[in-house]
Amino acid sequence: MIGRRCVVLFSITLLLFLSNAREASEIAPLAIPAPPGLAAKSYLLVDYNTGKIIAEKEPDLRLEPASLTKMMTAYIVSFQIRHGGLKPDDLVLISSNAHKTIGSRTFVEPGSRVTVRDLMYGLVVQSGNDASVALAEHIGGSEAGFVSMMNEMAGRLGMTSTLFANSTGLPVEGGGPDSHYSTARDLAILARAVIRDHPRHYQLYSVEEFTYNNIKQKNRNTLLLHDPSVDGIKTGHTSAAGYCLVASAKRGDMRLISVLLGARNEQQRGTESLRILNYGFRFYETIRLTESNKQLGNVKVWGGELDDVAIAVADDFYVTLQTGQSKSLVREFKVSDDLVAPISVGQKLGMLNYMLGNKLVAELPLVALKPVEEGGFLTRTADSFKRLFK
């Protein structure tokens, strides 16, 4: 612990990523323009790595998510595969109930057996409602049983304004607007989880077409064709929901997720989503401040078998900044000068602060990379005297 005698052992002021043109950093950056107004009922733009919201409009407005619902259906399928409850080659018996599901379809035949893998392609690429119901029945015993799993998972992920009534996003027969709903904020949480938790399965969302039963269908996310940085995620449409799109794009080290709900037509949901993505990439950047367990220096240890210990930050840490601000980012190490052995791996020894002007951007704990055992009697005695006159 850092006690009363805690002082700044060393304070390093370091201008990160500074170019040779020093005078360029002295020019104040231009103010960032306001985000473009999008033709949609609700939208949100978020940095995948940091969760920072860059732009938003009515992000907590409850709306029908249409086929964006299938992101949760696919997430649970991936979850089951990851935890051993399901295998991609498992065969799913197609029920007549799944076969007759209306709307977009994969055209699976009743009584046939289809692999989980093919149904996932049908679900994600073709947005097949029949594939969605077939998977739901297989995993949950019934679609209703699967829906309870969907809502439990939504709670685990922190989707506090979401309620699922089916696995497809189809309008609930006889149901009102409160029977099946979500928000742009919650769908962004789900999108981040899809990418973070199941990266191998996320690759399905960039597949441009899939053929099943000799019927070829294209991915409805047209941004996959118009922007090579876009690699997902999902479209949706019903008359009540309008045209919806959750899109994700990665340019360099920065990944952004946009959620757009309630556009008027298919073209509009694509162009408006691309507008807000371009805005985010143009005016913001993602910076990795620290790399997990990378040694940042050494600090003095008293009374130990070693004279010092290596320090680091335990996890990768990212921040979202306005473009160009990283040149003015300053980091400061604050570590006690009175550390006494024994020191254990991962023990907190100080703080690493990142400042932008007078604003604290990040405050990260510095931890020991290796243990330092207590030294012998002579070492401890000598160091005790040194500490007294230090």
Asked if residue 5 is part of any domain, the answer here is no
Residues 210 and 132 in one domain: yes
Structural domain harbouring 179:
42-284
Whole-number Å distance between alpha carbons of 107 and 100: 9
- Give residue-wise pLDDT tens across range 150-202: 999 999 999 999 999 999 999 998 877 789 999 999 999 999 999 999 999 99
The amino acid that residue 166 corresponds to is: N
101 falls within a domain: yes
319-367: pLDDT as tens digits: 999 999 999 999 999 998 889 999 999 999 999 999 999 999 999 999 9
Residue 211 resides in a domain:
yes
Q: Chain-wide mean pLDDT for the chain?
A: 91
Q: Is-contact 273 257, C-beta < 8 A?
A: no
Q: What is the mean pLDDT of residues 284-289?
A: 96
Q: How far apart are CA 238 and CA 177, in angstroms?
A: 13
Q: How many helices (H) and strands (E) does the chain have?
A: 11, 16
Residue 66 binned pLDDT confidence (cut-offs 50, 70, 90):
very high
Residue 321 and residue 278 share a domain: no
E-only strand ranges, 2-133: 42-47, 53-57, 91-93, 113-115
φ, ψ of residue 54 in degrees (nearest 5): -95, -35
Same domain, 107 and 217: yes
Taking the alpha carbons at both ends of the chain, their separation in whole angstroms is 19
Question: Does the pLDDT at position 98 exceed 80?
Answer: yes
If asked whether residues 277 and 304 sit together in one domain, one would say no
Q: 65 in a domain, yes or no?
A: yes
- Write down the pLDDT at residue 242: 96
Residue 381, domain CATH: 2.60.410.10
Contact 79, 90 (CB under 8 A): no
* Band of residue 388 on the pLDDT scale cut at 50, 70, 90: confident
Burial string for 277-309 (b: 16+ CB within 10 Å, else e) reads bbbbbebbbbbebbeeeeebbebbbbbbeeeeb
- The more confident residue out of 20 and 310 is 310
Q: Residue 7 — very low, low, confident or very high, per pLDDT cuts 50/70/90?
A: very low
Where in the sequence numbering do the catalytic residues fall? 67, 70, 127
- Same structural domain for residues 277 and 301? no
Please tell me the predicted confidence (pLDDT) of residue 29. Answer: 62
- Tell whether the model's pLDDT for residue 26 goes beyond 80: no
- Supply 71's token pair: 């992101």
Instruction: Report if residue 33 sits inside a domain.
Output: no
Task: Go through the chain and tell me how many residues it has.
Answer: 390
Q: Say how many domains are in the chain.
A: 2
CB atoms within 10 A of CB 177: 11
Helix axes 70-82, 116-124, angle to 10 degrees: 150
In this structure, of 31-35, 254-258, 303-307, 377-381, the range with the lowest mean pLDDT score is 377-381
Q: Would the pLDDT of 268 be above 90?
A: yes
Whole-model pTM over 0.75: yes
Residues 252 and 305 in one domain: no
Q: How far apart are CA 299 and CA 334, in angstroms?
A: 11
CA torsion 120-126-130-135 (nearest 10°) is 10
- For residues 202 and 320, membership in a common domain is answered with no
Whether residues 172 and 318 fall in one domain:
no
Does 197 lie in the same domain as 62?
yes
Dihedral sign of CA atoms 273, 222, 246, 163 in order? positive
Is the domain of 259 the same as that of 327? no
172 shares its domain with 313 = no
Give, for 149, the enclosing helix (H) or strand (E).
Answer: helix 143-157
Tell me the C-alpha distance between 365 and 184, whole Å: 33
As a whole number of angstroms, the distance between CA 256 and CA 232 comes to: 11
Residue 11 within any structural domain of the chain:
no
30 vs 263: which has the higher pLDDT: 263
174, HSE (Cβ side, Cα atoms, 13 Å):
0
Is residue 245 a part of any domain in this protein? yes
Is the pLDDT confidence value at 45 over 50? yes
308 plus 279 within the same structural domain? no
What residue type is assigned to position 338 of the chain? D
Instruction: Say which residues have a Cβ less than 8 Å from residue 43's Cβ, sequence separation at least 6.
Output: 55, 56, 57, 58, 59, 184, 258, 259, 260, 261, 272, 276
What's the pLDDT band for 28 if we cut at 50, 70, 90? low
**Mean pLDDT of the region 290-297:** 94
Domain CATH for 89: 3.40.710.10
| Cis-peptide, bond into residue 36, ω within 30° of zero | no
pLDDT at 57: 97
Examine the pLDDT at 2 and tell me if it is beyond 70.
Answer: no
Which of 1-10, 26-35, 106-115, 240-249 has the lowest average pLDDT? 1-10
Residue 194 near residue 238 (C-beta atoms within 8 A): no
Q: What is the mean pLDDT of residues 52-68?
A: 97
Share above pLDDT 70 across residues of the chain, in percent, rounded to a whole number: 91
